[in-house]
Each structure stands twice: as C-alpha cells, then as structure tokens.
Chains A and B, each alone.
Chain A
Amino acid sequence: MGKKNQKIPIPPQLPPEIADDEVEVSDEDFEFVESNQDYAGFLKKLDTKSITRHVVRVAGQNEDALETLYEQRNKKMSSQKLAEEDGLKAVDPVDVLPFKTLDGKLYYRAASADSRRSENMPKEGDAASEDEDDGKDKDIVKLTKAERRRKLKKSKREAKKQAKDLDKMDSLQEDTVPETLQSEVLAEVKEELSAEEVFVKKKCKLAEIGMALLADPESNIKSLKDLLQICKDGDRNIVKLGLLSLLAIFKDIIPGYRIRLPTEKELEMTVSKAVQKMRYYESTLLHSYKAYLQKLISLEKQPFFQHVAVRCMCNLLEAVPHFNFRESLLANVIKNISSPDDVMRKLCCAALKSLFADEGKHGGEVTVEAVKLISDHVKVYDCQLHPDCIEVLLSLSFDEDLGRASSLKEEKLTHKKKKRRQSDREINQLKDNDKKKGKQELLAKTREEVNADLKATSFAPDLEERRTMQSQTLSALFQTYFRIVKQAMDPAITRPYVNTRSVSGGFGRHPLLSPCLKGLGQFSHLIDLDFMSDIMSVLKKLAASNGDAVSSESSLTVSERLQCCIVAFKVMRNNLDALNVDLHEFFIQLYNLLLEWRPDREDQGEVLAEALKIMLCEGRQHDMQRAAAFIKRLASFSLCYGSAEALAALVTLKHLLQKNVKCRNLLENDAGGGSLSGSIAKYQPDSSDPNLSGALASVLWELSLLFKHYHPAVSSIASSISNMSTAHNQPTVKEKRQLVR
C-alpha cells in the first residue's frame, strides 16, 4: 500500500466518487492499521477542511461555484467566530435560537452547522483514509495545497477571462441593449440602420481588437479567436478585412523561433507561473495561426477571396518563413506560381524571390523545400507552365566558397597536425620529456573543449549542414532544368496545341525553355563535369533542331536556338580553365541562324547581340577561314537589318578583323584571296559551314554600301573598318571607292 502511494505522486483524486459500499477494505488493511496503532494517530489530526475541500472539489461539476460557496461559508464562519470571540453575539436571523447545554454553555446554530459538517467529515475521511492510511497526511496536505494553488490560478485566469468576456459583452450590449430598448419605440429606425453602419461598426471592432492585440499580445492573445470568428462573418468585405488585419497581427506577434508544443510529460511537470503563462500564450498563438491558415487555404478556392488569401499567404511566407506550418504555406504559394492570374502569380513569385534572397531568416531550409516543390510542380504539369515559375529560380544564390574554404582548412589542419606531431615526436625523442608531453596533451584537450563550446554558443549554422542543403537545392534545381530541356528535345510529344496554349498563356510550345536556358547559363559554373558532355550533346541537338517545314510547330524559335548556343558557350567557358575546346558545331549553328534571324522579334535583338558577343568577341582564337566567313556574313547581315542590329554586327566584325590580321585581306579590292583562299577558290554565300564558304576569296564590298547608311553611327563605324589598313600599299576599299567616284 505504502509503495503504491509512493508511486503515485498525486493522491487519488476521486475518492468521493466511489460509493461507500463499493470500497472494499481488505483484512490486510485492518491488520495493518491495528498493528501500527502509533501511526494511526494521524486519523485524529486530519486536516479535515482541506480534505473536504479536496474531496468535494473533485466531485463537483461546477468547481468555481462550489469554491466560491466554500469561501463564502468560510468567511461567514470566521466572521462568526470573530463575533463570538468579541462576545458581540451577533447572530444570523436564522440562528436566533441557540442551544443551551447542561453545563450552561450556549451553542449557536452556526456551531451546530459546523459540527454537522464535521459529522460528514469522518465518513469522507474514512474513505480517504482507506487509501492513504500510511500516515502521510503531510503529503496530502502539501499536495492539496499545490493543487489548490493551481486551482486558484486557474480560477483567477478564468475570472479574468470572464471579466474580459463580460467587458466584451458589455461593450456589445452597449451597442445592442439600447437598440433593444428603443426597438419597441423606434422599430423603423432600426430597420433603417443601414448595412453601412453595421459595416463601419464591425470595422471599428476589428480595429479595436487589433490595436489591443498589438499593444499587449501577451494578455490579449485570446482575442485572436474573436478575430478568427469575425472572419467567418457573412459579409465578404468584413472577412477580407479580418483576414488582412489578422495578417498584420500575425506578422507582428509571431516570435522569431519555431514553437514546439510541450509534450505530455512536460505538461505533467510542475512549472513556474511565467512558464505556464508562456505556454498558454504559445499554444493559443499556434492554434489560431493554424486555424487562420486553414481558413486561408479554404478561401483561396473561392474566386472572390483568391487575391486576398494569396496575398496573405505570400506576406506570411515572406515575413515568417521560419515559423510552424511553413510547409503548407509554401505548398500553397507554389501551387499558385503559374496561375493564369497575373496578380497572383506576381505575388507568389515576389514572395519566393524574397525567400531566396534572404536566407538568413530561415537558414536555407525553406529554399531547399521550395526548389524541390517547384521541381515537383514542373514534373506534374509536364513543363507546360508559365515561364515565371522558372524565372524565380534565377534569384537563387549559391555560396561557392562554402565547400572550398572548409576543405582547404581541413587540409591545412591535418597538415599542421602532422607536422606538429612529427616535431613533437622529435622533441620527445630528443628530450624524452614526459612532463612536457602531458602538458601538451592537456593543452590540446582544453583547446578542443573551448572549440566545442564556441560552436555550441555561436548560432551560425553548421558549415556541413549548409553544404548539404546547398547541394540538395542544386540537385533539385538542375533536375528541373534538365527535365525541361529533355522535354523540349522530345519530338514525340504531340500534345494538343490548344491545350498548351491555354496553360502557358501563349508562350509557344516550350514556355519554360527560355528561362531554363537562362538559368543554366547563370549556374553553369556549378554543373558537375560528368553532366557536361550530356548537356552539350543535348544543347547541340536543340540548337540544330531547325524547323523542317513539316514540324515547324515543334521546332524552337530562333532566339531559343541562339540561347542554346549562348548557354553552351557559357558552360564551356565557366568550366574550362585548363582546356580550350573549340565548339565548332555551335559556330555552324550561329552562322546559319544569322540568316534566319528576323528583326521583328520581341527580344529586340538582345539575344542576338549577346550571342555575337559571347561567341565571336570573347573567344580567344578562331580559324582564319571561319573568322572570314563570319566577317563576310555579318557584313551582309548588317545591310538588311535595322540600325541597332547592324551596329552590333559591325562592332563584332571590327573586333574579328582586329584579331585576325590575315582576314584584312577581305578589305583588299582583289577578289580571289590569293594564296590564303585555300582549297575553296570561290566564295559560296549559301554554304552552311563557315569553313567551307571560301569567304577569304571575297571582298567586303558591303562596307562601301554601309558607308552611306542613314544612321550616322553605322556609317562612321563602316568607314573606320574600311580604313583598317593591312600595311600594304595597295589601295583599300575606301580608296578604291573614292577612285570610282
């Protein structure tokens, strides 16, 4: 029995519920009590009051009512006692007639009531004693005290709550009561109470609650639920306002950490008042936040609330990406990332961009999740999405030094350690000093400890962790990109064109390809070398997928193919410090694309200019033949397109001529190219391979035409090019032209 009691720290709380006849008192118990008469003395000293309170409380349904009743009674009794002691003998009218005993003492009614109460006591005391017959009355008292304290707290809180509720009720009633009073008199007025006034009133209430919450969130946390209630209002505008004000409140009061609800074990433990309060605050916050999110998610499906809900979610994601339930938040935002609605899409994209931009808020975990989700999204929709959802990924940033720095450090460390160890050994061998050795070991040990402490206290995320997160993000990112590229490559996909158009909003067959290529170009330095050959072969195929007349629909546009070339060059340039690879096939593509390019494209020649710059200007060397072919083609190209494109072409042309001195033979007025023309003796303008065009055998007569270009910049650059001398005495094109004049 005793053991049992020790096991259960809180005494059984429900003795009164057990009817007397149900309690089975075993013989053992009787024996025990009899054998331990000394201990049984406590039965007489039982703190009957506390026991009764303890006992009765549990039985009661309405604890507060009972308690207040008791308190009142106690008060009354004490006041009576005081009165007795004072000899005032002021009695209740009920207790007018006192008893008089044989020895002449007066017993008042109150006393008898008291005694009557105490009559009840032993019975209950017995019941209690059955369980707690081990003489642990102190324990009981203590525990009951603890419980009383807790109960008191609860009652206080509840009282506060009630008071608050009452206040609210009052405030409500202030609105409603006069109305009801007047309603009989001014029924019409009440009817005329327009919807606007109600609206204004509700708005005011929202504002009041919101302000109160913001002013003191700790004590007013309860009113979050009221706000949530308001969000279920019939009036749509009020719901909108409620959602927005809740958003503002949550943004403000959500703490900078993730809330973890206490486990059951932790709940059992007794905690200080402050902790209790904090727990309550946090759990309320969390629950209402959850309810709010659920509300948002459900409202998002209704067309009227779509914008508000998405705006709220985006704002929340931006403001508190570290907080609980961010997964569902993120999932919902990403779901809308390619929505046909411009406003919603822009909102979601902006939210994600800001998420990627400052990773400090959430430590990078959300980035990984977001990129993975986008990847899944793309997979599910089979790449038929709005380009925005891939463009978002461009704002990702990767810390390249992360891996390198630490690995270098490790190397150094091991190196140093080795050295040190060696030197140590030498020293030890030389001096054979055990003391010193011990000292050094101690030093090393303390150093390690200090390092560990530093790591624990500094809140910077672990390097290792960050690196794994980054690599996860990268793998998800490239998975997405490769999926898109692969999809674009696959000619077998014969999806109904109308359908894709409606989804992608008129972005052609491969809406995601252009942002994807952009991204590949931007992150090309992070691609693993092993993927490289695959990427290059795929890009080659894409760039070469010139539209056959039959499958023109499935082929890529010129700008997309130009982008493929650009990406290939970027990938190569960024990865090849050691080896210089000549991307001949892409040059062939560019050479042909120059002919296909049309000036009326929406990209305004930016892609073309970039391609010319990256492929022709930044390359280190070119074949003479190839350079000549490009020079010739660019010259003829600049004749037929707008001034901007012509200017770009001419700048490239000038650059090529400056680098390839031998190509300046093109400026000579002597067609045929002499010994340089190689095996191809005649210029073939329709050749598809720059190496076989025999451009060296031609003359740049185009320059003299360009000299008369209406655009002053074009004409000036044309003249400057034709003035480039080949250090020969022969007249240049310009001179020849002047001669002709």
Chain B
Amino acid sequence: MRPLDEAETTAVFEKLFKFVGNNLKHLVDRPSHEGPDPTPGRYCFRLHKNRVFYVSDALVRRATNISRDRLLSLGTSVGKFTHGGKFHLTVHALDLLAAHARHKVWLKPTSEMSFLYGNHVLKSGLARITDNVSAGDGVVVFSMSDLPLGFGIASKSTQDCRKLDPNAIVVLNQVDVGLYVRKEDDL
C-alpha cells in the first residue's frame, strides 16, 4: 500500500473528472468522520496491488498494522491499473460517482433490465437526461427512483439526443451493477 505517484494521480483524477467534473474538489475535501478522533479527517487515494482505494486517513493509519501481502482491501475500491498502465474505474466506484455526478441519465423502468445485462442505453430507454451533456462525457445511469445502476460514456450530446432515432445508442455501457452477478469471481 502506497500513495499514488504523480503519473498515477493524474490518470486517476482525469478519469474521475470525466464523471464528477468540478465536484472532484468535494470528493477530495470531504471530511471523514471515521474513527474516534474528534476532528474530522480527510479522504485519500491509496494504491495496493494495482488497485486504487478511496480511504479515510484514520483507516490508512490502522491498515499499516497489517502486512502488505496479507492486506486484501481497504476503504472503497475505485478502480485498477491495467498492465499497460491505464486506469479503469470499477463498479465499486459507482456510489462515489453517483453522489457527485455531473451528468446523469435516468432510465425508463422498461429498459433498466436491458442495461443491467450489460447493454448500451438506447434513446428509447431514456427517461431523462441532464442538460448540456456533450459527447464523450462520463454519465452516471440512474433508475427512475434515483438508484444508481451504472455508468458509461455519452455517445451523443443532449442537443443531438432530441433528434435522434429511438434505436440509436445514447450511453455506452462501461459498468453496471449487474457485474456483481455476472463477474462475481473476478471482482
């Protein structure tokens, strides 16, 4: 377990910025109330076995008690670095992203299932979308009852969505909560 180096930090932050935008500040500045300390601590990112974790200070200090090879996980897993050195967000980061998301998409109840099986979001399944999403932005997908279902990349801007064919893809599925069932072993 170690802090991220410069290159890794930029990679992680760039990825997160895609989804949360300026809320990244809130993500980092967020006070943590974990542990017995009366003064709230901060959250930080830690790398452990190619995985990036979002952990509070208090937890990091306590985790040092466990030897590196025995430590499996701490805090919230956010993503992992591939062998090529790229950073990928994993499904565990969903709650974090959903709380701070800049661009959101709400699905119609009928198309929720399709999305949870790993399919992309079609125009016909779109119930609501935040304003000024542009193509390539990261969006978080919600059900109509504000339950985060996953996240992905917008393939069309909000403006283009209006004139779009009902069968056109609006959001490319990157991660959905169905992964917990489908890839139970790999997670």
Chain A residues with a Cβ under 8 A of chain B: 529, 532-533, 536-537, 540, 572, 576, 578-585, 621, 623-624, 678-682, 689, 691-692
Contact = CB atoms under 8 A, between A and B. Distances in A.
Given A576-B162, A681-B33, A692-B26, A582 B129 contact: yes
A578 B162 contact: yes
21 contacts: A529-B162, A529-B163, A536-B132, A540-B132, A579-B162, A580-B106, A580-B127, A581-B128, A581-B129, A581-B130, A581-B131, A582-B106, A582-B131, A583-B130, A584-B131, A621-B128, A624-B146, A679-B96, A679-B99, A689-B23, A691-B100
A624 B104 CA distance: 14
Interface string B102-136: 00101000000000000000000011111110000
Contacts, number: 59
B130 A582 contact: yes
B174 interface: no
Q: For chain B, what secondary structure do more than half of its interface residues adopt (helix, strand, loop), or is it mixed?
A: mixed
B159 interface: yes
Interface in B7-44: 23, 26, 30, 33
B144 interface: yes
Contacts of A580: 106, 127-129
A682 B126 CA distance: 33
Contacts of A572: 131
Contacts of A678: 99
Contacts of A623: 146
B131 to A, nearest CB: 5
Contacts of A532: 159
Contacts of A584: 104, 130-131
Given A540-B132, A581-B158, 11 more contacts: A536-B132, A537-B132, A572-B131, A578-B162, A580-B129, A582-B104, A584-B130, A585-B131, A621-B128, A678-B99, A691-B99
A198 to B, nearest CB: 74
Contacts of A581: 128-131, 158
A537 B132 CA distance: 8
Contact of A621 (B130, B132, B144): B144
Contacts of A621: 106, 128, 144
B69 to A, nearest CB: 31
Contacts of A578: 162
B144 A536 contact: no
A681 B40 CA distance: 12
B57 interface: no
Contacts of A533: 132, 159
B156 to A, nearest CB: 11
B177 interface: no
B33 to A, nearest CB: 6
Residue with the greatest number of chain A CB neighbours at <10 A, chosen from B30, B100, B129, B159: B159
Contact of B129 (A529, A579, A679, A692): A579
Nearest to A680: B99
B161 interface: yes
Interface residues on B, range: 20 to 34
A594 B149 CA distance: 33
Which of B100, B130, B158, B162 has the most chain A CB within a 10 Å cutoff? B162
A691 B101 CA distance: 10
A624 B127 CA distance: 17
A580 B106 CA distance: 10
A659 B128 CA distance: 17
B98 to A, nearest CB: 9
A692 B159 CA distance: 27
Contacts of A681: 33
Nearest to A580: B128
Contacts of A582: 104, 106, 128-131
B153 to A, nearest CB: 18
Q: Which of A533, A536, A540: most chain B Cβ within 10 A?
A: A533
A579 B161 CA distance: 8
A99 B126 CA distance: 125
Contacts of B106: 580, 582, 621
B129 A536 contact: no
B180 to A, nearest CB: 19
Contacts of A689: 23
Nearest to B133: A581
Nearest to A623: B146
Contacts of B104: 582, 584
Contacts of A583: 130-131
A585 B96 CA distance: 20
Nearest to B161: A579
10 closest A-B pairs (Cβ-Cβ)? A679-B99, A580-B128, A582-B130, A533-B159, A583-B131, A581-B131, A584-B130, A579-B162, A624-B146, A582-B128
Nearest to B157: A533
Contacts of B33: 681-682
Contacts of A536: 131-132
> Which of B33, B100, B131, B158 has the most CB atoms of chain A within a 10 A radius of its CB?
B131
Contacts of B146: 623-624
Contacts of B100: 679, 691-692
A540 B130 CA distance: 14
Contacts of B127: 580
A682 B40 CA distance: 12
A215 B127 CA distance: 71
Nearest to B162: A579
A682 B104 CA distance: 24
Nearest to A582: B130
A582 B23 CA distance: 18
B30 to A, nearest CB: 7
Interface centre among A529, A582, A623, A680 (most CB of B within 10 A): A582
A361 to B, nearest CB: 39
A537 B131 CA distance: 10
Contact of B126 (A540, A579, A679, A692): A579
Nearest to B159: A533
A624 B144 CA distance: 11
From B127, B146, B163, residue with most partner A Cβ within 10 Å: B146
Contacts of B159: 532-533
A678 B128 CA distance: 22
A692 B21 CA distance: 14
Contacts of B126: 579
Nearest to A620: B128
A533 B133 CA distance: 11
A572 B162 CA distance: 12
A580 B26 CA distance: 28
B76 to A, nearest CB: 10
Nearest to A622: B146
A692 B24 CA distance: 12
A401 to B, nearest CB: 23
A579 B23 CA distance: 26
A679 B95 contact: yes
A578 B99 CA distance: 27
A540 B132 CA distance: 11
